[in-house]
Amino acid sequence: MEHLNRAEFLATLKFLLVTVIILPVLPDQEYGPFRLNPASVWKMVIIVSTVGFVGYVLVRRFGARVGLWVSGLLGGIVSSTAVTLAMGRIAQKDTRRSLGTLQAAILAGAVMYLRILVILALIAPSFIPLLWWKLVLLSAVGGGLALSVHAVDESDESREMPGLENPFEITPSLLFAGLFVALTMITMVVRNAAGNVGILTLSALVGVVDIDPFILSMVREKEIALNLIVAAVILAMMSNTLAKGLYFSALVPGVRRATLWRYAVWAAAHLPLILTS
């Protein structure tokens, strides 16, 4: 905790205290037609926040002084989308770092697959045999694309990575819980109204934002075929990867071509994994 400021430390302590108070009193049973379990939802919030907090502390501990690429790797444990936007803002302020920030953004995206794999191992381990090699492969593709960026490391101890929130803040944690509940309900409604096509369409749409709540809502579905869930999870990741490429290229037009072809190749690597699910 020594690398958190006083406000962050107090926010973290508040989250932990609220967790200790709330979790034991939440009913551990399913309610309503959507079969929502309050205790299970809050446990997922704790697990996802804890994984993110590890990355957040590491970023605060080492920061950009060890190189943008390391910051990208560590920041990807928190939120690869936030890192992508943060790197884009850094490049806007210093165009000499455009390639370095692109490399860091891709590395953060590569870590996303491994972070989700860890979360699934904790929350839905039955999906690991179906997904682990696909997520590792997609992470490796991202790592290879990051290495193809010939960036010069211009470390600067005075620089911080903007945009990363402490995952142990109450507000983002409640937002995650709300998104999870909403997406669980929406998924069931879409499944009943539009079937498999509706589920896959929803997967592609949610990729433009945070995909964690959607993925975790999908793997807890009991009435959807496993192969469809796997395809939906990978499709959401593909959509998210494309969105991050568009975000970065819009923020840093000087490397737009270098950005778009790499993210396009990365997104294309998802397709055979979706079709073979």
pTM of the model as a whole:
0.85
- CA quadruple 128, 132, 133, 138: dihedral positive or negative? positive
Give the pLDDT score at 239: 95
Give the pLDDT score at 193: 87
Counting every residue, how long is the chain?
277
Give the pLDDT score at 41: 86
Q: What are 198-255's pLDDT values in tens digits?
A: 999 999 998 887 788 899 989 988 888 899 999 999 999 999 999 999 999 999 999 9
Nearest to 248 by CA among 64, 102, 90: 102
In the predicted model, what is the mean pLDDT of the chain?
A: 85
- In this structure, the number of other CB atoms found within 10 A of the CB of residue 184 comes to 21
Q: What are 12-61's pLDDT values in tens digits?
A: 777 777 777 777 888 888 777 767 888 888 888 888 888 777 777 777 77
Q: Which residue has the tokens 């590890």?
A: 54
Confidence band for 137, pLDDT divided at 50, 70 and 90: very high
The kind and range of the H/E element at 192 are helix 170-206
Q: What are 143-196's pLDDT values in tens digits?
A: 999 999 987 655 454 455 555 667 677 777 788 888 888 888 888 888 888 888
Give the pLDDT score at 158: 43
Longest dimension (CA), the chain: 56
**Amino acid in position 267:** A
119: exposed, middle or buried (Cβ count in 10 Å: 0-12, 13-18, 19+): buried
- Is 109 a residue whose pLDDT tops 90? yes
Give the pLDDT score at 190: 87
CB 108 within 8 A of CB 75: yes
Contacts of 15 (CB under 8 A, 6+ apart): 49, 168, 169, 170, 173
Helix extents (H) in 26-127: 38-62, 68-75, 80-93, 98-123
- Is 65 a residue whose pLDDT tops 60? no
Percent of the chain residues topping a pLDDT of 70: 89
Nearest to 245 by CA among 274, 215, 268, 222: 268
**Main-chain phi, psi angles of 36, to 5 degrees:** -85, 130
For residues 62-74, give the mean pLDDT: 72
Percent of the chain residues topping a pLDDT of 90: 41
Q: What are 153-165's pLDDT values in tens digits?
A: 554 544 555 556 6
Confidence band for 262, pLDDT divided at 50, 70 and 90: very high
Confidence band for 3, pLDDT divided at 50, 70 and 90: low
Pair of tokens at residue 122: 């904790």
Give the pLDDT score at 181: 86
What's 217-257 look like in SS3?
Answer: HHHCCCCCCHHHHHHHHHHHHHHHHHHHHHHHHHHCHHHHH
**Amino acid in position 210:** D
Q: What are 78-88's pLDDT values in tens digits?
A: 889 889 988 99
CB 75 within 8 A of CB 61: no
Q: Three-state DSSP class for 204?
A: helix
275: DSSP letter? H
